[in-house]
Amino acid sequence: MKVFEGLKFRRRETAIHRLDPRTKFVVSIVIFTLALVFTELPFLFLLFMGQLPLIYSAKVHREWGRSVRGGLTLTIIIFATNLLVGYFSNGMVITEGLVLYSFSLAFRFIVLMSSFSIFFLTTSPDDLSLALQQSHIPYEFCFAFTTAIRFVPVLANEAQTIMDAQKSRGLELEKGNFLKRIRNFIPILIPLIVGAIRRSLELAEAMESRAFGAKKERTSLYLLRMRMSDWGALAASGLVLASALYIRYFVGLSRLPLT
């Protein structure tokens, strides 16, 4: 669950937070792409270090750290899996190269994960929804998206309350064999689902009562505007991407110590 800590928005007053969500999305995509394009450890390491100043200036380092620690299990699994696969297919031999390669793949996973972590930690779901809207995605989808996020804490609470209520009627959720445990979740699931349906009906009522669908084109209270800082960030990302791709595909990498 700690992994998800790295995806939850934190309200802070930083330059990164003030950037347009579309800019941040592009930057994340650039980092993501670069991490995919390169498998060489030094590059990945550079990419990783390059994110750190962004994370620190956004003051979200603690949450980011927590999510990296949360993803450590998966990282280790990736490392071990690749090692084993290489071991068996390489004639039962572990070479230094194989270890380095597995390590760089595992490391790459961390870079990929954290590239979007920055995006989610510094972008409020509201801004996200606005970005989607202004990118001409139909309003219904944006609304469904925001509403889902808005109700996640509510549903989580309700699930907990339902579990408490059923435990108070003698339901033992922690005992019994596998099959029994699955059956024991029915008294939790049904009230949850019925509750969700009831809730969506109430929501629909409220939406209708506020003239949802009255006009084809909606206006919006807030407007996302690209500023100098946004264009600057985009330009910088573009430059980094271009030069990296150039190095990768047009300049030989044999000079550098690799696998």
Partner 1 sequence: MIEVKDVYYSYPSGIEALSGVTVTICDREFVAIMGENGAGKSTLVKHFNGILKPSKGQVTVDGVATTKESVAQLSRNVGLVFQNPDHQLFSETVEEEVAFGLRNFGYRDKEIDERTTRVLDLLDLAKYRKASPFILSGGERKRVALASVLAWDPKVVVLDEPTVGQDYRQKERLRQFVLKLNEEDRSVVMVTHDVEFVADCSPRVIVMSHGRIVGDGDADDILTDEALLTKASVLPPQVTQLLWQLSDLGLPRNVLDLNKAKKLLDNVMGVRTGG
Partner 2 sequence: MVVLTGPSGCGKTTLCRCFNGLIPNFYGGELLGDLVVHDLSVKEHPTSELSQHVGFVFQNPENQLFALSVEKDIAFGLENLAIPRDEMRRRVDWAMDMVGIRSLKDQAPYELSGGQQQRVAIACVLAMQPDLMVLDEPTSFLDPVAAKNLFEVISKLNKELGLTTILVEHRLDLLSTYSTRIIVMDKGKIVSDGAPRDVLASNDVEALGIGLPKVTRLYRMFSEQGLTFDRPIISVDELVQEIRRRAAK
Q: Amino acid identity of 74?
A: L
Q: How many CB atoms lie within 10 A of CB 127?
A: 19
- Asked if 162 interacts with partner 2 (CB under 8 A), we say no
Q: Which does 205 bind (CB under 5 to 8 A by kind): partner 2, partner 1, none?
A: partner 2
Question: 219: buried, middle or exposed (CB in 10 Å: 19+, 13-18, 0-12)?
Answer: exposed
Q: Between 165 and 251, whose beta carbon lies closer to partner 1? A: 165
Q: Between 20 and 127, whose beta carbon lies closer to partner 2? A: 127
CB of 18 closer than 8 Å to CB of 232: no
> Could you say which residues in the range 167-226 bind partner 2, by CB under 8 A?
199, 202-215, 217-223
- Shortest reach from residue 196's CB to partner 1, in Å: 11
Q: Which does 256 bind (CB under 5 to 8 A by kind): partner 2, partner 1, none?
A: none
Q: What gap in Å lies between CA 86 and CA 97, rounded to an integer? A: 10
> Could you say which residues in the range 147-166 bind partner 1, by CB under 8 A?
158, 161-162, 164-166
The residue length of the chain stands at 259
Options 77, 84, 154, 242; binder of partner 2; rule CB under 8 A: 154
Q: Which does 187 bind (CB under 5 to 8 A by kind): partner 2, partner 1, none?
A: partner 1
> Could you say which residues in the range 163-222 bind partner 1, by CB under 8 A?
164-172, 174, 186-187, 190-191, 194-195, 198
> Which segments of the chain does DSSP mark as H helices, in order?
15-18, 21-37, 41-57, 61-70, 72-89, 96-122, 125-134, 139-167, 178-183, 186-209, 228-250
**Cα of 78 vs its chain's centroid, Å:** 19
Question: 214: buried, middle or exposed (CB in 10 Å: 19+, 13-18, 0-12)?
Answer: exposed
Q: Between 7 and 162, whose beta carbon lies closer to partner 1? A: 162
Q: Which does 126 bind (CB under 5 to 8 A by kind): partner 1, partner 2, none?
A: partner 2
Stretch that binds partner 2, among 54-62, 67-75, 148-156, 167-175 (CB under 8 A): 148-156
User: Per-residue contact track with partner 2, 105 to 144, x per CB under 8 A?
Assistant: -------------------xxx----------------x-
Q: Which residues contact 125 (CB under 8 A, 6 or more apart)?
A: 9, 145, 146, 149, 150
CB of 135 closer than 8 Å to CB of 22: yes
Q: Between 49 and 211, whose beta carbon lies closer to partner 2? A: 211
Question: 168: buried, middle or exposed (CB in 10 Å: 19+, 13-18, 0-12)?
Answer: exposed
Q: Between 172 and 202, whose beta carbon lies closer to partner 2? A: 202
- Shortest reach from residue 136's CB to partner 2, in Å: 16
- Shortest reach from residue 198's CB to partner 1, in Å: 7
Q: Using CB under 8 A, list all residues that contact partner 1.
A: 158, 161-162, 164-172, 174, 186-187, 190-191, 194-195, 198
